[in-house]
Structure 1
């Protein structure tokens, strides 16, 4: 299974469209917030199954703050990350992932790409295709679940 991952798109649909063209083909898309309405755009414009969460810029959003998604036997915790203070470290985020027995945690908020394994947990932030930070380019991600393993790849526009 191939999963497109976006975060921190901030309503800049042009960059979402570019990212989708590069990441395709995918089976579904995860959107880690800011702006959660962009998840609706992905669903409507591309007819993908899309899982989204709300971020710190999504006041009034009907999206949940986090989701636990099970795909092909792998559990993925999807959150924006601001509630876990990810700009100051991943300890809280990792503790939550372990509490839920998640195999991977997908988040955003920092706009900085991250693709790291801590123990048995993949910590994955696709960065931002719209407003990059940390010296990174305009990035997004792809997760692959294959042969009982989940792996991430950061891609650049």
Structure 2
């Protein structure tokens, strides 16, 4: 299964649409917050445009005002458990320590987060920590997004891509 991962889109969905249009056969799309409304708009676009809509999961970030929407979600994907969160509540700009303990508490295999606008791929104790950076306001200089490829053997291969 291939999963597109976006975060920190801040009102710009066009780049996400272009990525998905090039390869609309992904099994899932994850949006790790800032701006939750972008995920809603992307979902509507996929429903109206793609021959087969892709399931989308999204959480709110520190710049979102949809207070009734989830701040985190645990997603099952091909036998893996993924924690989707923006990361601001775990102070990911300082360290991954708090989000690491949340990963242990929720017994997940992978943590997808945003907030820093910087791409991250790290593994601690067999847990993958994955931040796709920002497709609209990158701090690394290049707009980025991610792909999580779940193989038949249950392994997750993370990829960071630049637009």
The two structures have a TM-score, normalised by structure 2, of 0.90
Structure-to-structure mapping, 1:39-58, within 5 angstroms: 39-47=39-47, 48-58=54-64
User: Which structure 2 residue ranges, 5 or more long, are not aligned?
Assistant: 48-53
Which stretch of the first structure deviates more once superposed, 93-102 or 60-69? 60-69
SS of alignment partner, residue 87 of structure 1: coil
Residue 144, structure 1, aligned to residue 144, structure 2: no
Residue 93, structure 1, aligned to residue 138, structure 2: no
Residue 15 of structure 2 is matched in structure 1 by: 15
SS of alignment partner, residue 88 of structure 1: coil
State how many pairs are aligned. 156
The two structures have a TM-score, normalised by structure 1, of 0.94
What is the RMSD of the two structures over their aligned residues, measured on CA atoms? 1.3
Q: Which of 79, 82, 106 is the aligned partner of 1:76?
A: 82
How far 1:16 moved relative to its partner?
Answer: 2.1
Residue 30 of structure 1 is matched in structure 2 by: 30
**8 A Cα contact 2:5 2:147, kept in partner:** yes
**8 A Cα contact 2:3 2:27, kept in partner:** yes
Matches of 1:116 and 1:18, distance apart in 2: 27
Q: Which of 108, 120, 126 is the aligned partner of 2:132?
A: 126
**Which consecutive aligned stretches of 4+ in structure 1 deviate over 4 angstroms post-superposition?**
none
How far 1:36 moved relative to its partner?
Answer: 0.4
Matches of 1:87 and 1:136, distance apart in 2: 17
User: Which structure 1 residue ranges, 5 or more long, are not aligned?
Assistant: none
Matches of 2:86 and 2:162, distance apart in 1: 20
